[in-house]
Amino acid sequence: MNYKLAAIDLDGTLLNSQNRISEATEAALKRLVEAGVVVAPATARWYQVAVRPFERMGLDVGAITCGGADVRAPGGRVLAEKPLPGEFVPFIADLCDRAGWVTTLSSATRTYRRESELPPWASQAPEWLTPVTHLRDADLAGLLTVIATVKPGDPHLEELEPWAGRVSCHRAVSFQGEEMVTLTAPGVDKGTGLLALCEELGIDPSEAVAIGDSEVDLPMFEVAGLAVAMGNATPEAKAAAAMVTGTAEEDGVAEAIRRIWG
């Protein structure tokens, strides 16, 4: 099969435990782009940070970011944006403040990072990233996604239950073992993001490869012609994949690229 697109999860997939792309994986990605294959990070993270590792490599990539709510072509052209319901925005801002969650809230142009104390790098943050200790004064117009780090059994999570059906809630465990809750508009996930990217680029979804490590990657596994799970993936992700590659520490993405594209 002549696969034309590679949608690759970041944390625990492309990025190792040091939050880096290894030299072997970097070389494999460069070969892939040079061969004309579209590469796209597929992540809950926001666009500006998702493409930064690729910019450092000099690679122009597409992007499925904000959990599928922000989809862009190579070059950054917006293909799809699906914001959270307007009535949900003030509720979630208040909940994050009351719960004290470390939270990232992103629109297409701005990201707020909420922590109980400002981080040491706050004064050096790029213009699109605003560290804050509360969200009551934040401009959250066009909010696309919310990523919260929570503790297992946090009672504040129950307050999200009445929003079921009006907001999509995706849970995953990060490479560092933290529980992450990602909130997007209803029906939005990495699978819908991959479909939007394929449609706009004129690529049949059967010609796409999806590489990931957790349950949040399953929607794009269902859409792509070939699903690849990392060696460190959850049992659910491995069961849904047609191929299992090495772990993030073992350059699993580079191995998958070699096996698929040669």
Confidence of residue 171 (pLDDT cuts 50, 70, 90): confident
Q: Give tens-digit pLDDT for 224-243.
A: 999 999 999 999 999 999 99
Last residue of a domain, one of 124, 153, 184: 184
Each as own residue / partner, the long-range contacts of residues 19-28 (CB below 8 Å, 24 or more positions apart, any chain) are 21/53, 21/57, 22/251, 22/254, 24/251, 24/254, 25/251, 25/253, 25/254, 26/57, 27/254, 28/251, 28/253, 28/254, 28/257, 28/258
Residue 58 confidence (pLDDT): 96
Do both 163 and 192 map to the same domain?
no
| C-alpha to C-alpha distance for 109 and 147, rounded to whole angstroms | 16
pLDDT band at 176 (very low <50, low <70, confident <90, very high): low
Residues 122 and 244 in one domain: no
185 — pLDDT class (breaks 50, 70, 90): very high
Note the pLDDT of residue 149.
Answer: 93
pLDDT of residue 114: 97
Same domain, 31 and 105: no
Q: Round to whole Å and give the CA distance between 212 and 223.
A: 13
Q: Count structural domains, the chain.
A: 2
> Which pLDDT score, from 0 to 100, does residue 178 have?
73
147 and 176 fall within a common domain? yes
Q: What angle do CA 146, 130, 19 make, to 5 degrees?
A: 70
pLDDT at 180: 85
pLDDT of residue 18: 86
Residues 67 and 194 in one domain: yes
User: Beta-carbon neighbour count of residue 31 at 10 Å?
Assistant: 15
**Helix/strand/coil (H/E/C) assignment for every residue in 165-232:** CCEEEEEEECCCCCEEEEEECCCCCHHHHHHHHHHHHCCCHHHEEEEECCHHHHHHHHHCCEEEECCC
CATH assignment at residue 145:
3.30.1240.10
pLDDT at 159: 96
For residue 196, count other CB atoms closer than 10 A to its CB.
19
Cα separations in angstroms, 70 against 210, 242, 249: 17, 27, 28
Strand partners, 13: none
| pLDDT recorded at residue 225 | 98
What's the CATH code of the domain at 211? 3.40.50.1000
Domain residues for the domain of 92 are 88-184
For residue range 188-212, list pLDDT tens digits in order. 999 999 999 999 999 999 999 999 9
- HSE (CB half, 13 Å, CA atoms) of 62? 30
Inform me whether the pLDDT recorded for 175 exceeds 90.
no
Question: Nearest Cα to 74, choosing from 64, 55, 60?
Answer: 60
Given pLDDT bands bounded at 50, 70 and 90, which one contains residue 174?
low
> To which H or E segment does residue 113 belong?
strand 111-114
- Tens of pLDDT, residues 115-168: 999 989 988 999 999 999 999 999 999 999 999 999 888 999 999 999 999 999
Same structural domain, 121 and 178? yes
CA separation for the pair 244, 231 (Å, rounded): 6
